[in-house]
Structure 1
Amino acid sequence: MARTAGARGGSRIPEWLAAALRPNPGPVPWPAALRACVGVAGPLALGFALGRPAYGALAAIGAQFAVINDTADSYRMRFLGIAVPQLAGACGVVVGAAVLGHGALAVVALTLVGLVSGLVSSIGPLASAAGLLLLISTVIEAGLPVPGPWWLAPALFLGGGAFVLLLSLLAWPVRGAAPERRAVADAYRAVAGQLAAAGGADYETQRQTTTRRVDHAYDVVLARRARERAQRTTAFALFARLDALTALLEAAPAAHHAGRPLPAAVPAAVRELADAVEHPGPAADRPALDATSGPGDRAGRAVVAALRHAADVVHGADPAPGDRLGRPAPLGTRAARTARATLRSAPAWRYGLRLALCVGIAQTLVSVVAVPRSYWVALTVAFVLKPDLGSVFSRAVMRAVGTVVGLGVAAAVLVAAPHGWWSAALMAVLAALLPVMAAKGYAYQTTAVTPLILLLSDVLNHLGAGLLLPRLVDSFIGCAIALVAGYLLWPESWHARVGDRLADIVDDAARYVVTCLVRDPAAPGGAAPGADEDASARSRRRLYRELSAVRGEFQRAMTEPRPAATLAAEWWPLVVAVERVVDATTAAQQDVGHGAEPPRPAEARAVAEQLGQLAAGIRTHTALPRVETEHDPAGSPVLDALREQVGAARAVATSEQARGRPRPGRRRGSTAR
């Protein structure tokens, strides 16, 4: 990982801390800021107007969490992203109110809720948001008395969330599928950037951007398409246009390995298709493909053929989805599969137990020691101990830093502003900052969330500035519990946890080589698994998605202190090498598909076997013998680039092992998990 300028200049700030504090780039989300301003301050202002500020504060708390979860692009996913966590939060409010004031019962209940939250959070992003809000609302309600009958608090919580949801969906009737169109168009533009970078030094960076954009587009479009059965719908048309990108995605590595930049008209033509996808209208002129054909080699022909196919689909009157990547199973089937997989998952249980342990310790502590409004300790644990949202260690440090800054803001507000309409106005400003700061990073989000929660809770308990010092102490206690009981006591937390997963991807890459390049002589015309374009497309997309996830795991490990950050940085080149192996395999498949002599099955299987040896070496920390990567006159030239990349990947693994470095995910002397 590259050092920051401050680190090179002798700065004493640790590199992992500098990386965690560095704000994420990106534009200011003005629409989200406006929705947050109205969504949070509106219920509070209504409560003041009706003489029921406590009721307005309860609704504003629900609205605040709805704002935090309002992150999806498409309206359908936005609806689920807000509604599902809000329902889970309402359940948490009911549970928390039932155990309020019951010390031992509250400890048991919150510990069980922590276990459930941890298990649910391992399913996926939506389930993670629901699990977190279930735990947070239970913790708050178990420590903060609220007025009214038992059903009023969850109703107000849901009402505040429903108000934000309504604001988020106001444009749905007029904009419809605009977010899905934009996602597919962005995927086309990313592919255009990748083609423009072919043969250059920026190609791999552009390909990673393409992977993220295409994955996002498939997630958005498939989520909508899974609910529509008719064949003539916007979702099916968008899926067909997205599916048409597959050929371009497969042709791009071949163009890059050819070593010559493509004519500028090629990416320009893809950008024209992106504009046609995002802004459908009367049939436009097709790109002048004959002028963009470029060199007459196999890579050039592959790109031109893929571009013509994409143009036919984008400009077609009624495009039909190719279904090369398959259709999602019905929602009930997927839910049942996910539930079974979660209950059988050892990592899910480990995370659930870690979260339950920390929440149980926090609640036991505040039950034994008299701490005013003690819900903040367990609340801090819940926010920090979310490994799917980043490094636990860095999140604990960022939580402490953000809390100190946020408490400073809250102190100024509590001292300067009286209760009443001024509170609603200040809430509007702080709420508008919430999505803006959340986009910059966790510490910045904490800085915005802390004063907002404190001021809303002050409307309920009227402790004023006397609330600040206890909250600061509570935050430090919660961070300490998360660091000790949720981090240091679990060695898997402070070592890079991607070794076995990376080895699995290398095994998948070996199978991908066989799928793409090993022909079956018994099949009609000598066709083979490599001739099954659908199978190879599914394998390629799955590999790139997994590699993207592993990149995220490594980047999170790099924000940990030593030794995890050091090991992750040293093993990072292997991730890059495996990506190049997949690219070289795709390029070889394209060469064969456009006229090259296919390799003998034994040659392709030998390359796959070398990858299998690499995967085994990663798992067992075994040094690998050197393999010959020079051109073999008797071998198939199609495999030359692939052999070179496989040899480079094995060399990376062997060089790290020769230095005595443990493999990522395993301490020296331990057995593979």
Structure 2
Amino acid sequence: MHVPARISSAVPPWLAHTLRAQRGPVPWSAVVRGALAAGPLLLAAVLWGRPSAGVVAALGAMLAGINDRRGSRRSAVQRLGVPAVAGACGLLLGSYAQEYAASADGQTGAVALIAGLAGLGLVAGAVSAVGPVASAVGTQLLVGAAVGAGMHLPEPGWQRALCYLAGAGWLIALRLLLPSPGAPGAAGSFRFDGERTAVADVYAAIADLLDAAGGPDALARRAALTGALDHAQDALSGPRLRARPSSSAERRLHAQYLAALPLAEAATALAWAGRTLSAQASEGPRRLAAAVRSGDAPGPLPAPARYDAGLRALDDALLHAAEAFDGGTGHLPRSKSRLLPAARRALGPGGREYGVRVALCLGASAAVAQALHHVHWYWLPATAVFLVKPDLGPLVSRVLCRALGTVLGAALFAACAALLPSPYGLVALVALSGALIPVATRHFAAQTAVVTVLVLGLVMVAGEPQAAWSRIGETLLACAIVLIVGHLPLPGHGGSGVRTRLAAAMRAADAYLGHVLSGSDDRAARWALRRAAYRALAQARAASEVSAAELPTLARHTAGAGEVAAMLELIVDTATACAVHLDDTGRVPEQHARHLAALCADLAELTRRKELAEPRSWITTA
């Protein structure tokens, strides 16, 4: 994320976040998939004489396209497919709810429909607190339910669900079958280009961290290395038919990823020491990154000077990596079942709080929409579903971006609808919008504008009247409802999601630090615990940054969470330096021990003062 310094210092955090936009290269492969997804499906349905079926299929492709981010093909199956199944289930439930409401007494049916959506929102909201994929599951479940309950289509519910799955499945098929532009053919099957890119990015991030050691950018580079490791771990752990890698190319990628873990540990220890390193220190990891991308051998790796424990660890890790690149194989350890931790997170304070807010938003928006007797009443609850998602940014930022994006998108669509022939001009507009979604996801207002154009085009192709201006009014109503519900005081502590993330980060740091100080020589276990600690810390820091950018009435509940997360990261960095010295000398240097004890004491005082979490035993006794 990037925002000019003069802007961020001149405006409050909640407004500065609204002005931020992600930066980076255009994801051309995702743009191509977006152009080939919703538009062609809609065109085929129009030519077949079943435009309503094409609308549902295009909707499934559009929502899958919003989740179509960088990563490996197999991880995309889970990231796109599981939410799509949930969306089809929601569409089926909503369709049958529509039939029940139509057959029952008018007021009774409406009340039952509102209660059903609110109850579904309670469950889906709690599930959404588990993680990114679960959040997409909850979103598509509720959007599907709202559309199924409110959009009048000639197809029965089961056919709507199948059309929705077909649309999402078509995008997943494109994701699996189309090669990425510029993917190196010499490195093996293009099926693994996402994995190769992710592993290469890890080695490049290690080199960047070594270059930044001793400078002001060291902490940011270490955070970037954590993100690269998280991404590579996800890319390599996607679903497969066998428990272990089934091809030599895949086994080699796993070995190269595992070889990066001791390099990352050594680089973190060197950056923690705060000494500037020679350019030769980063040359080896850069050659390894180029070798992963090309599939060629890295050649001789320059050895760094071995005058302290960190550089000796770096040299040993480079030798280990050279062996892995010279035909080594490996596989990631089997992950433990995540069902129990996921259930605990969904049923914990964060899941309960978010579930209640989603239920209130969905129920209130459905009730207001029913009272207005609008033909597109389902837009209100569907809009509320997106607005209530905390992973899209702070609440006030989401509301402002949604309102602005809807106004821009509706105005643009109204102009296009007056000029383009129906239905083929609208089909072309839908295809163009689908291609723009991967770029527009960099800012919520831009994404909203593109999705608004696409949805309004689908509505007109389905045979309903042009509804650009009513879309603006209903979006503003949804914004008001979500703002009110989002600021309602609920029983217990506010900011439960942030507190849950901080507690998880403390547990992970506890496990890692305990393993390091125990003197265990099981390095594989240590690297796995270190990965878990940094991953949990990154999630806690991201949650605290979002919370800090809320309006003061909400931000006060988690004031200081960012300080706690930053201090935990310093503790884990120090523990990493201790681990490197233990490997080298068999003991922890006295200055490291004193520094670690001081950090733990400061953290204990900070957690007591901020009342954000119960201090762990290792903090209070350090």
TM-score by length of 1: 0.81
Task: Decide whether aligned partners of structure 1 residues 197 and 78 sit closer, same or farther in structure 2, where only a CA change above 3 A counts.
Answer: same
Deviates more, 1:253-262 or 1:104-113: 253-262
Native 8 Å contact 2:84 2:137 kept in 1? yes
The answer to whether 1:578 aligns with 2:568 is: yes
Could you say which residue in structure 1 is the equivalent of 2:136? Answer: 129
Does 2:97 align with 1:96?
no
Q: Distance in 2 between matches of 1:437 and 1:493?
A: 35
Displacement after TM superposition at 1:209 (Å): 0.4
Deviations 1:143-193 (Å, cap 9, x if unpaired)? Answer: 110123443322322222222222222236951212111111111111111
Of 531, 542, 566, which residue of structure 1 is paired with 2:532? 542
CA distance in 2, matches of 1:17, 1:230: 47
CA distance in 2, matches of 1:3, 1:16: 15
Cross-structure match for 1:608:
none
* SS in structure 1 of the partner of residue 36 of structure 2: helix
In structure 2, which of residues 17, 20, 27 is the aligned counterpart of residue 19 of structure 1?
17
- Equivalent position amino acid for 2:46 in 1: F
Please say if residues 61 and 171 of structure 2, whose CA atoms lie closer than 8 Å, have aligned partners that are also in contact.
yes
Select which of 189, 195, 204 maps to 2:204. Answer: 189
Is residue 577–residue 645 contact of structure 1 (8 Å, CA) maintained in 2? no
Q: Give, in whole Å, the separation in 1 of the partners of 2:178 and 2:69.
A: 16
Residue 50, structure 1, aligned to residue 65, structure 2? no
* Residue 426 of structure 2 corresponds to residue 430 of structure 1: no
User: Match for 2:254: what amino acid?
Assistant: F
Q: Could you tell me how far 1:565 is from its partner in structure 2?
A: 4.4
**Mapped pair 1:462 → 2:473:** no
C-alpha deviation, 1:488, in angstroms: 2.6
**3-state SS in 2 of match to 1:177:** helix
SS in structure 2 at match of 1:488: coil
Tell me if the contact between 2:95 and 2:148 (Cα under 8 Å) persists in the aligned partners: yes
Q: Which runs of 5+ in 2 are unaligned?
A: 103-108, 180-187, 615-622
Shift of 1:408: 1.5
Aligned 8 A contact 2:14 2:396 in 1: no
Q: Is the 8 A contact 2:493 2:557 kept in 1?
A: no
Equivalent residues of 1:494, 1:560 under 8 A apart: no
Structure possessing the higher relative contact order (Cα contacts under 8 Å, 6 or more residues apart)? 2
Distance 2:613 2:554 in 1: 9
Cα 1:104–1:206 change in 2 (3 A) is same
The separation in 2 between residues aligned to 1:35 and 1:2, in whole angstroms, is: 30
Query: Which string of whole-angstrom CA distances, capped at 9 and with x for unpartnered residues, describes residues 375-430 of structure 1?
Result: 11101111111124432332223222221222211221223323222112222222
The equivalent of 2:7 in structure 1 is: 6
In the alignment, the residues of structure 1 paired with residue 371 and residue 148 of structure 2 have an alpha-carbon distance, to the nearest angstrom, of: 18
| Cα drift, residue 650 of structure 1 | 4.6
Distance in 1 (CA, whole Å) between partners of 2:572 and 2:155 is 61
Letter in 2 for 1:489: P
The question of whether the paired residues in 1 share the 8 Å contact of 2:65 and 2:438 is answered with: yes
TM superposition shift of 1:574: 4.0
Residue 300 of structure 1 corresponds to which residue in structure 2?
311
Is 2:460 the partner of 1:453?
A: no
In structure 1, the residue matched to 2:38 is 40
Whether 1:287 and 2:301 are equivalent positions in the alignment is: yes
**Match for 2:173 among 144, 156, 166?**
166
Task: Indicate how the Cα distance of structure 1 residues 108 and 202 shifts in structure 2: closer, same or farther if over 3 A, else same.
Answer: same
Following TM superposition, by how much is the alpha carbon of 1:31 offset from its aligned partner in structure 2, in angstroms?
A: 1.9
Letter in 2 for 1:579: E
Q: Is the 8 A contact 1:221 1:239 kept in 2?
A: yes
Distance 1:43 1:536, change over 3 A: closer
Partner SS state of residue 176, structure 1: helix
* Alpha-carbon distance change, 491 to 340 in structure 1, aligned in 2, over 3 angstroms: closer
* Cα gap change, 1:342 to 1:178, in 2 (>3 Å): same
2:591 counterpart residue number? 640
Aligned residues of 2:176 and 2:191 also touching (Cα < 8 A): no
Gap change, CA 1:343 and 1:650, over 3 Å in 2: closer
Inter-CA distance 407–105: structure 2 relative to 1 (3 Å threshold): same
Displacement of 1:207: 0.6
Q: CA deviation at 1:135?
A: 0.9
SS in 2 for 1:594: helix
Q: Report the 3-state secondary structure (helix = DSSP H, G, I; strand = E; otherwise coil) of the residue aligned with 2:238.
A: helix
Q: 1:426 to 1:169 in 2, by over 3 A?
A: same
More displaced, 265-274 or 467-476? 467-476
- 1:392·1:487 contact (CA, 8 Å) conserved in 2? no
For residues 282 and 206 of structure 2, what CA distance do their matches in structure 1 show?
8
CA RMSD of aligned residues (A): 3.0
User: Is residue 155 from structure 1 mapped to residue 162 from structure 2 by the alignment?
Assistant: yes
Aligned position for 1:314: 325
- TM-score where L is the length of structure 2: 0.87
CA distance in 2, matches of 1:562, 1:113: 30
Q: For 2:469 and 2:134, locate their aligned partners in 1 and report how far apart those are by CA, in whole Å.
A: 34
Mapping of residues 126-525 of structure 1, within 5 Å? 126-171=133-178, 174-224=189-239, 227-229=242-244, 233-281=248-296, 283-289=297-303, 293-315=304-326, 317-321=327-331, 326-329=333-336, 333-335=337-339, 337=340, 340-341=343-344, 344-438=347-441, 440-464=442-466, 467-490=467-490, 495=495, 498-499=498-499, 501-502=501-502, 505-506=505-506, 509=509, 512-518=512-518
> Which is further off, 262-271 or 202-211?
262-271
In 2: Cα distance, 1:105 partner to 1:506 partner: 43
Cα distance between partner residues in 2 of 1:142 and 1:29: 35
Match of 1:71 among 45, 69, 72: 69
Amino acid at match of 1:484: I
In structure 2, the residue matched to 1:555 is: 545
Offset at 1:566? 6.8
Q: Is the 8 A contact 1:574 1:653 kept in 2?
A: no
Compared CA separation, residues 422 and 492, structure 1 to 2 (3 A): farther
Q: CA deviation at 1:483?
A: 1.8
CA distance in 2, matches of 1:511, 1:339: 19
Give the 3 Å change call, closer, same or farther, for CA 359–496 of structure 1 in structure 2.
closer
**2:522 maps to which of 529, 532, 544:** 532
- CA distance 1:399–1:94, change in 2 (3 Å): same
Q: Which of structures 1 and 2 has the bigger CA Rg?
A: 1
Give distance in 1, aligned partners of 2:391 and 2:426.
Answer: 34
- Counterpart CA distance in 2 for 1:655 and 1:87 is 44
Counterpart Cα distance in 2 of 1:577 and 1:216: 24
Distance 2:235 2:571 in 1: 29
Shift of the 51–182 alpha-carbon distance from structure 1 to 2, 3 Å rule, reads: same
Distance in 1 of aligned mates of 2:90 and 2:500: 36
Deviation at 1:258, TM superposition (A): 4.3
Q: Is the 8 A contact 2:129 2:351 kept in 1?
A: yes
- 1:221 aligned partner, one-letter code: L
1:569-614 deviations in whole A, cap 9, x for unaligned? Answer: 7553443333222212221221232126x25xxxxxxxxxxxxxxx
Are the counterparts in 1 of residues 560 and 610 from structure 2 also a CA contact under 8 Å? Answer: no
Figure out how many residues of one structure are paired with residues of the other and give that number.
596
Q: 1:381 to 1:489 in 2, by over 3 A?
A: farther
Q: 1:655 to 1:60 in 2, by over 3 A?
A: closer
Displacement of 1:663 in angstroms is 4.1
The change in CA–CA distance for 1:559 and 1:156 in structure 2 (over 3 A counts) is same
Greater Cα offset, 498-507 or 47-56 = 498-507
Q: Which amino acid aligns with 1:532?
A: D
- In the alignment, the residues of structure 2 paired with residue 342 and residue 554 of structure 1 have an alpha-carbon distance, to the nearest angstrom, of 17
Contact 1:496/1:665 (CA < 8 Å) preserved in 2? no
